[in-house]
Structures are given as structure tokens and as C-alpha cells.
Structure 1
Amino acid sequence: MKKLFLPFLATLFFVSESLFVDLWPKNEWYQHYLFAPRFLLIFIIFITVYVAQTYGMVYGFILGMLYDVVYTEILGVYMFSFTLIAYMMAKVMKMFHNHLFVTCFLSMIAVSVLEGYVYGIQLLIGKTDMPLNQFYSYRLLPTLLVNALFLLFFSYPLKQQLLKIERYEREE
């Protein structure tokens, strides 16, 4: 049963992004600003930092492919970026202490990198014509705010659960 807990958490975070957007009140703020909850990316980063680099990359690849199939029209964008960000995060964390604040800060940087990468791909293939300053004001900043609030409330419990999983994996 303990072996299924990490895939269960991954599924929960995968579904939580779309549920969050669907359940968000459609008020004035929602009409003007675009935000993307990146809970799944944050989860992958936390797996990479607190469980194992290989787990983070494998989950990044699989969940990124699933994300591409379910949510986007272009295959490979999230599959590649989730895997690459997990790899880069593992390398960066070797230079820093394994502290929750550092992990949260680097998660916010990873969300920014992902948003910029996806914006660049969309701009390159002509799926968007949003200027960079508008992207920054109406997409990136609201996305960072939503994900920072998520980290504020869920980073510590998530870290504790992943450390339990890591101890279980180490004991086997």
C-alpha cells in the first residue's frame, strides 16, 4: 500500500490543477488576469529534492507526457520541460542546503522558467500574439502569486509526506 502512495499523490496533484481552475470564482480578477496553477511541477520538484532525482525525472517525464495529452495541443512541451526542470533542480540543489525555504524559492524560479518556456514556444509557433510586457503583467505575475500561495499552505505537509516515502524507499 505504501508503494502506491506516491503515484496517488501524483494523480491528486495532476487533477488538482484543473479542479482549481474550474472551481475558482469567475469574478472581475479572473476576467483580466490569466493564471496557471503549477502544482504538478512543484510536486515534481519536491519529489526530486526530497525523494530521489531519478524519481523526479521519471515522474516529470510520465506526468509531462500525460499533461501534454490531456491539456495541450502540442505534444512534448511539458514532457520535455518537466523532465529537464527536475534534472536542473537536482543539480542546483547540490549547491544549496536541502532546506524548505530554498526548495520553495527554487520552485518559484522553476515556475517562472516553465511559464517563459511555454510562452516562447507558443509565440514561436504562432499560437499567441501576446506581447512580452502583457505576458509578464497578466500571466506571469498572477501565476507566481497563485503558486506562492499554494507553497505557503502545502509545502511543509508535502515535504513531510515525501520524507516519509523516502525513508520507506531507503528501508527496502
Structure 2
Amino acid sequence: MNRFFLPLLLFVFFTVESIFVQLLPSEFFYGKWILVPRFLIVALLLLSIYGSLKHAILYGFAFGLLFDIVYTEIIGIYLFLFPLTIYLVMRAMKVLQANALVVTLAILAGIALLELVIYKMNSFLHITDISLKEFADMRLLPTLCLNLIFIAAAFYPLKRYYEKLVEREILS
């Protein structure tokens, strides 16, 4: 049972992202802000820091492919970006201390990187035509604020869960 709880938990985060978007009415912010929940990548980044980098990258590939199949027209964007973001944040964490504040900032930097690369890709493919400043004001900052709230709520439960998995050698 313990072996299947982690993929199930990550799938729940994947599902909750789309449910969250459906439940939050766009009129709530007068159409000024676009909130993008990145709960799955937060969970994967915490897994890479407090659990297993290998498992985080494997789940990043799997859920990146699933994300591409379900949400995007181009297969490969999230398949490539999820593991890359996990790897880059983990490389940064090898140099930085792993206290809660630094980990939170590193995760927010990873989300910002992910959002910026997706924006640049969409801009390159002419899917979007908004300026970088508009993107930052309308999407990037609200997304970082939303995910900061999620990190504050989920940080310690996920950290404890991942550390217990490492102790029980499920993530070995």
C-alpha cells in the first residue's frame, strides 16, 4: 500500500490543479489576474529535496507526459520542463541550505523559471502576444503568490511524508 500512495498523492495534486482552476471564477479578480496552480511541481520539487531526486525526475517525466497529453497541443513541453526544473532546483539546493525559507524561495524560483519558459515558448509559437511585463503582472506574480500559499500549507506535511519514505527505504 505504501508503494502506491506516492503516485496516488501526485496524481491527486495533478487532478486538484485542474479542479482548482474550474472552481475559482475568473470574475473573482475582475479578469486582471491569471492564477496557475503548480501544486504538482511543488510536490515533485519537495520530493527531490527531501526524498529521492531519481524518483522525482522519473515522476516528473511521467506526469510531464500526462500533462502534455491532457492540457497542451504540443507533446514534450512539460515532459522536458518538469524534470529540467527539478534538476535545476536540486542543483541549486546542493549549494544552499535546506531550511524552510530557502527551500520555499528555490521552489518559487523553479515555478518562475517554468512559467517564463512556457511563456517564451508560447510567444515563439505565436500562441500569445502579450508583453513580458503584462505576463509578469497578470500571470507570473499571481501564480507565485498562489503557490506560495500552497507551499506554506503543504510544506511540513509533505516534508515529513518524504522523510518517512526515505527512512522506510521505499524511495531507495
TM-score interval, normalised by the smaller of the two chains:
over 0.9
1:21 aligns with 2:46: no
Task: State the alpha-carbon separation in 2 of the partners of residues 99 and 90 from structure 1.
Answer: 14
Residue 25 (structure 1) shift: 3.5
State the match for 2:147 in structure 1: 147
Alignment partner, residue 92 of structure 2: 92
Give the TM-score, by structure 2 length: 0.94
Deviation at 1:159? 0.9
Q: How many residues align?
A: 172
* Post-superposition offset of 1:19: 1.0
Calculate percent identity across the aligned residue pairs.
35
Partner residue, 2:138: 138
Contact 2:38 2:111 in 1 (8 A): yes
The answer for the alignment partner of 1:46 in structure 2 is 46
Structure-1 residue corresponding to 2:116: 116
What is the root-mean-square deviation of aligned Cα atoms in Å?
Answer: 1.5
Q: What are structure 2's unaligned runs of at least 5 residues?
A: none
TM-score between both structures, scaled by the size of structure 1: 0.94
Structure 1: any 5+ residue segments left out of the alignment?
Answer: none
- The Cα shift of 1:99 comes to 2.0
> C-alpha displacement at 1:6, in angstroms?
0.8
CA distance, structure 1, for counterparts of residue 92 and residue 170 of structure 2: 23
Distance in 2 separating the partners of 1:166 and 1:134: 42
After TM superposition, give the deviation of residue 82 of structure 1 in Å.
Answer: 0.5
How far apart, CA to CA, are the structure 2 residues paired with 1:120 and 1:15? 25
**Alpha carbons of structure 1 residues 171 and 89: separation in structure 2 relative to 1, 3 Å:** closer
Q: Do residues 63 (structure 1) and 99 (structure 2) align?
A: no
1:74 counterpart letter in structure 2: I
Contact 1:39 1:150 in 2 (8 A): yes
Q: Which secondary structure does the structure 1 equivalent of 2:68 belong to? A: helix
| C-alpha distance in structure 2 between counterparts of 1:171 and 1:74, whole Å | 32
Q: Is the 8 A contact 2:37 2:147 kept in 1?
A: yes
Residues 60-84 of structure 1 deviation map (CA, whole Å, 9 limit, x = unaligned): 1111110010111111111101011
What letter is aligned with 1:169? E
8 Å Cα contact 1:6/1:165 also seen in 2: no
